Amino acid sequence: MIKRLLIKASNSYDNNYQVVPVNTCKPIDIESDIGVFSLIVNVRNFDGCNEHRPNSTYNVGDEKYLDGSEVDAPSKGDPSYKANLRLEVSFKPKRQIKGSELLFGNDFTVPIKSYVPTSILSTGLKFFTYFINKTIKGEIYGDKPYLYGLALNSFTYMSLNHEKKEGATSETKESEKGVSGTSTGDNDKNENLNSNEDNTLKIPSEPTQRKRFFNNVNHCESFVFNDTTNYVLQFDTSYLKMADSKYSVSIPTFGNRSFDIDVSNYANDELNNFNWVIKQGGYDGVGCGTLGLVVNFALVNED
């Protein structure tokens, strides 16, 4: 038996899931109470389960699906894409949402404390919150562990696309290239959040500086995700390693070092999946706030 990935997305933890095509840059649409999401997922060296074989490729730009059938229109590879995982989301809010309310992070719907060395995870969490992002909040010892941060300082790259209007700026048009198809690299293009409607902040256009700027919660309070705008939210990470059906998590430690945990050693019939979540409010845990997008990564046993 081998454990292979199944990646699904929904607006709920319980139902309405769609299988996500991986490495094809073909989005799926998810409608929720807080807005409409269009999702693209890329995974380096993806060896997905049977449900992915007719719709996903091993890497971006491949001309054949995992089952060997031809791809009608292969996606173009992005030279800047070096991460193990990329989530690319286009988000059109249904209502105004403060920047201090839109959350992004991970959660589980079952306990992990009986299976995973939580002391190591706790060390990584303390390091991350103290040195990198003070707005991260989490609980790993509870029945439904979670780790949430503010979207404004969590995503690798962010931009906005106004609905078609006269007088769109060249800055806005440039950022629109990253909405779908060829994904935008995290540092190769400037962001345009300063063009957000009614913005009064001086938001840095460089992604790393933008994340630092929004580590100040007061700045997040003053930013609004508007219902007239499409927002591009891109997240890249190499802390998760999922190539060729081998799974590990890199936990940050001191001195630019990390500690790898082999997830396969802890996965079982109960603990076999986790979620990436975007929601409005709900810092207190799973089930709190209003869900927007749930992207579920599960390990499936196959021959």
Q: What is the pLDDT of residues 105-136, one digit of tens each?
A: 999 999 888 877 666 566 555 555 544 577 88
64-82 average pLDDT score: 85
Which tops the pLDDT comparison, 83 or 132? Answer: 83
pLDDT confidence of residue 161: 81
Residues 223-276: tens digit of each pLDDT? 999 999 999 999 999 888 899 988 888 766 555 666 677 877 778 888 889 999
pTM of the model: 0.87
What's the pLDDT score for residue 51? 98
**pLDDT value of residue 262:** 80
Residues near 227 by Cβ (< 8 Å), separated by ≥ 6? 35, 92, 93, 94, 95, 96
pLDDT at position 253: 59
pLDDT exceeds 60 at position 302:
yes
Q: Give the model's pLDDT for residue 120.
A: 58
What is the three-class DSSP state of 234?
A: strand
Q: How confident is the model over 16-35, as pLDDT tens digits?
A: 999 999 999 999 999 999 99
Residue 74 pLDDT > 50:
yes
Lowest mean pLDDT among 86-95, 97-106, 157-166: 157-166
125 vs 221: which has the higher pLDDT: 221
Q: Which residue has the tokens 């306990």?
A: 111
Q: What is the mean pLDDT of residues 10-15?
A: 96
Task: Please tell me which residue, 137 or 122, carries the higher pLDDT value.
Answer: 137
Contacts 24+ apart (CB under 8 A), 126-135: 127/252, 127/253, 127/254, 128/252, 132/252, 133/211, 133/215, 134/215, 135/215, 135/217, 135/220
Question: Given pLDDT bands bounded at 50, 70 and 90, which one contains residue 163?
Answer: very low
Residue 56, token pair as written in the block: 């996903």
* Contact (Cβ atoms closer than 8 angstroms) between residue 95 and residue 227: yes
Cα(first)–Cα(last) distance of the chain, in Å? 5
pLDDT of residue 173: 39
Other beta carbons within 10 angstroms of residue 114's beta carbon come to 11
Q: How confident is the model at residue 178 (pLDDT cuts 50, 70, 90)?
A: very low
Would you say residue 183 has pLDDT above 60?
Answer: no
CA distance 27 to 103: 21
Location of structure tokens 């992207």: 295
